[in-house]
Amino acid sequence: MLVLFLCLFLLLLFLFKFITAYGDFTLMSKKQPKLEKIEDKVVWITGASRGIGEILAKQLASLGAKLIISARDEAELNRVKSQLKGKHAPDKVKILKLDLTSGEDALREAVDLAECFFPESGIDYMIHNAAFERPKTSVLDVTEDGLKATFDVNVIGTITLTRLLTPFMLKRGKGHFVVMSSAAGKTPAPGQAVYSASKFALNGYFHSLRSELCQKGIQVTVVCPGPIETKNNAGSRVPSEKRVSAEKCAELTIIAATHGLKEAWISYQPVLAVMYLVQYMPTIGYWLMDKVGKNRVEAAEQKGSTYSLSLLLGKNKAA
């Protein structure tokens, strides 16, 4: 009887933990970042002019990192820099204007410059956070221009930058890539097929890179967030959508990186549950997504919630 009661209690505890989780179980088990892995380390962040990248810059600066912040909009980078506080901020924060679509020669110049900013250590962490905008459209409405624009930033630019930076890291025998992928890089994302394809590509590339080079000191943390609330999307998001804050997402990203996690998932339910299903029970996961797919595209068209369980029933299309 006691054993039965204990089992029931543990099951309820597990269910409660799962329902209220905002990250995968491994990530949730790590409570704090390892400060010694961040303080005085050089961190280069792309897409730092707004959104999650801006918050990452703020949190990393306050933990004592030396920062290089990149994006195309220099004025916004200056605004972000002026707001950073920490052992090496704002004065020693370096701004490196960067367009990920500018081609190999320009990206090589950017890498050379970034490596020179802190010559005594070079780059310890490269946070690949920048991404092309991700409007929701049906696969039928994808244009060649949209496809190329997404892949140029999310995949070609990001991989080229990595290819150019890795030899410097290998020479030092250490370096850590942190990649802001997405839940859409783990599960089907109806209405965002091209974005999803670009994130699956990143996952494949960076997990392979780690397998090839981990014995030479190269680490990779692939972060897969579900819906995140940023200042940027706060105005346009559907009120009923439950999103993890950009602050929490950045905090968990830093925890995942400093604990050397290979992959981390950040989301509320039901997205987290779908990620578990697709990963561990793909037959059920894909069946579920096939039920949701058409409704999700229609919900996006009608500005309804695209992350709700009621998509299963075809409800929730209207805002």
Applying CB under 6 A, the residues found at the interface with ligand NAP are 46-47, 49-53, 71-73, 76, 98-101, 129-133, 153, 180, 182, 225, 227-228, 230, 232
Q: Which is nearer to ligand NAP, 51 or 270 (CB)?
A: 51
218-225, strands of its sheet edge to edge: 94-97, 66-71, 42-46, 125-128, 175-180, 218-225, 263-266
Cβ 186 vs Cβ 136: under 8 Å: no
**Min separation Cβ 18 and ligand NAP, Å:** 21
The tokens describing 41, both together, are 């380390």
DSSP-assigned letter for residue 195: H
Rounded Cα distance between 149 and 155, Å, is 10
**Helices and strands, number each (H, E), in the chain:** 12, 9
Active site residue 195: yes
Measured from the CB of residue 58, what is the shortest distance to ligand NAP in angstroms?
13
Toward ligand NAP, which CB reaches closer, 149 or 170? 149
Asked if 27 and 252 count as a contact pair (C-beta separation under 8 A), the reply is: yes
Rg over alpha carbons for the chain, rounded to the nearest Å, is: 20
Give every CB contact of residue 11 below 8 A, 6+ residues apart in sequence: none
**Residue 232 or 269: which CB sits closer to ligand NAP?**
232
Residue whose CB is less far from ligand NAP, 57 or 89: 57
242 versus 291: smaller Cβ distance to ligand NAP: 242
Q: How far is the CB of 32 from ligand NAP (least distance, A)?
A: 23
Q: In the bound complex, what is the minimum distance in angstroms from residue 256's beta carbon to ligand NAP?
A: 13
Half-sphere CA count of 278, side-chain side, radius 13 A: 18
Check 195, 205, 268, 307 and give the catalytic one: 195
Beta carbon of residue 316, minimum distance to ligand NAP (angstroms, whole number): 18
Residue nearest to ligand NAP (CB): 51
Active site residues: 195
